[in-house]
Amino acid sequence: MDRHTEIRSFVLVADKGSFAAAAVVEGVTPVVMGRRLDALERRVGVKLMHRSTRGLTLTDLGEQFVDQCRQLLRDFDEAESSISAQRSTVRGHLVVSAPAAFGRRHVGPHAPAFKARYPALKVSFNFTDSVVDLVREGYDMAIRIGDVTDPNYVPVRLFPNRRVVCGTPGYFERMGVPRVPEDLASHNCLAFNLQGGQQRGWTFSRDGKPFAVRVDGDLDCNDGELLYDWVKMGLGIGWRSTWEIQAELKRGELVTVLDDYAMANYDIQAVYPQQRYLPAKVRHFIDYLKDIYNQPGYWERGPA
């Protein structure tokens, strides 16, 4: 058994918390994963994990060693990537995370054509509104909406975006148009509940400084697409991304208000972990999406 396999298996067991979960990823049995850990412990001469009926826990030395092993695996991947980047054929396994609604509309639909360009490449997506740890959870890259502040990630802007307050013309005819963010107190604001985040309220900018306004309405949920549908039905107003509503704005089905107070720089971005050599599969997919998103009229055509 090679050392790379032992180290990779050790890190995977530590991350997944059990031999069974790690074995599913590796496509082997839990017994095999246990043997790999045994071999590694014999070779380094220390106990790396405590095993009990309640589960697995790292020893103190195991805690130190697992971080070193993660770095070794990253270095190994970067060494491979530096060679792969020189090849004309993009190959391997590209694993991408993206926000659920955005991924379904504007990432997943473009995968078949990208895959047709690079038939040796396998592509996996995870569409979730949770912010994932790319390194720990094994992602090559992610699509994020808004600022990326983690210094361990490299952001690449794919397309400019803002968050705006919007509603149907019929709603504003009935309820009036808010002139300043504080006017939202008298409007039916369709917002995320606590499970969906946005606890601080809707964020605006005045005199170059951000501030939040608490909003309330008679409908809330933890799903952005449902909020989007309610706004289009005229049930209230929403705080939505411009990428999401461009088609409705063009057709006049939705209008925006309080634009002078909208926060800037809520861009659509690709992010990937800091690394010496960017894998060709990541670079090509980022460039591919960037080209699509910047085609004239793309966002006005509506969801795929």
Most confident listed range (67-81, 87-101, 157-171): 157-171
Number of folded domains in the chain?
3
pLDDT of residue 128: 87
pLDDT of residue 295: 93
Same domain, residue pair 214 and 180: yes
CA distance 292 to 155: 18
Enclosing domain of residue 282: 92-158+268-301
Arithmetic mean of pLDDT over the chain: 88
CA distance 268 to 144: 6
Same domain, residue pair 80 and 107: no
Same domain, residue pair 25 and 145: no
Least confident of 55-59, 141-145, 176-180, 287-291: 55-59
Confidence of residue 303 (pLDDT cuts 50, 70, 90): low
Cα angle 212, 216, 219; round to 5? 135
Same domain, residue pair 77 and 58: yes
Same domain, residue pair 153 and 167: no
Same domain, residue pair 222 and 277: no
Q: Look at residue 29 and tell me whether its pLDDT is greater than 70.
A: yes
Q: What CATH number has the domain bearing residue 189?
A: 3.40.190.10
- Cα atoms found within 13 Å of the Cα of residue 303, Cβ hemisphere only: 12
Q: What is the pLDDT of residues 200-215, one digit of tens each?
A: 689 999 988 889 999 9
Which residues sit opposite 96 in a β-bridge? 125, 141
Same domain, residue pair 253 and 291: no
Same domain, residue pair 167 and 244: yes
Last residue of a domain, one of 58, 84, 110: 84
Contact 228, 190 (CB under 8 A): no
Same domain, residue pair 107 and 228: no
Q: Look at residue 195 and tell me whether its pLDDT is greater than 50.
A: no
End-to-end C-alpha distance for the chain, whole angstroms:
47
Same domain, residue pair 275 and 154: yes
Query: What's the average model confidence in pLDDT over 13-35?
Result: 89
Q: What is the pLDDT of residues 138-192, one digit of tens each?
A: 899 999 998 888 888 999 999 999 999 999 999 999 999 999 999 999 999 999 8
Least confident of 83-97, 168-182, 273-287: 83-97
pTM as predicted: 0.67
CA distance 232 to 255: 10
Same domain, residue pair 98 and 119: yes
Q: What CATH number has the domain bearing residue 24?
A: 1.10.10.10
pLDDT of residue 84: 56
Provide CB contacts within 8 A for 181, sequence distance 6+. 202, 204, 206, 211, 213, 258, 261
Query: What's the average model confidence in pLDDT over 255-283?
Result: 89
Last residue of a domain, one of 26, 61, 84: 84
Question: Is 74 exposed, middle or buried (CB count within 10 Å of its CB: 0-12, 13-18, 19+)?
Answer: middle
Last residue of a domain, one of 84, 114, 139: 84
Q: Look at residue 117 and tell me whether its pLDDT is greater than 80.
A: yes
pLDDT of residue 39: 92
DSSP single-letter state for residue 130: S
Query: What's the average model confidence in pLDDT over 58-77?
Result: 89
pLDDT of residue 142: 96
Same domain, residue pair 154 and 280: yes
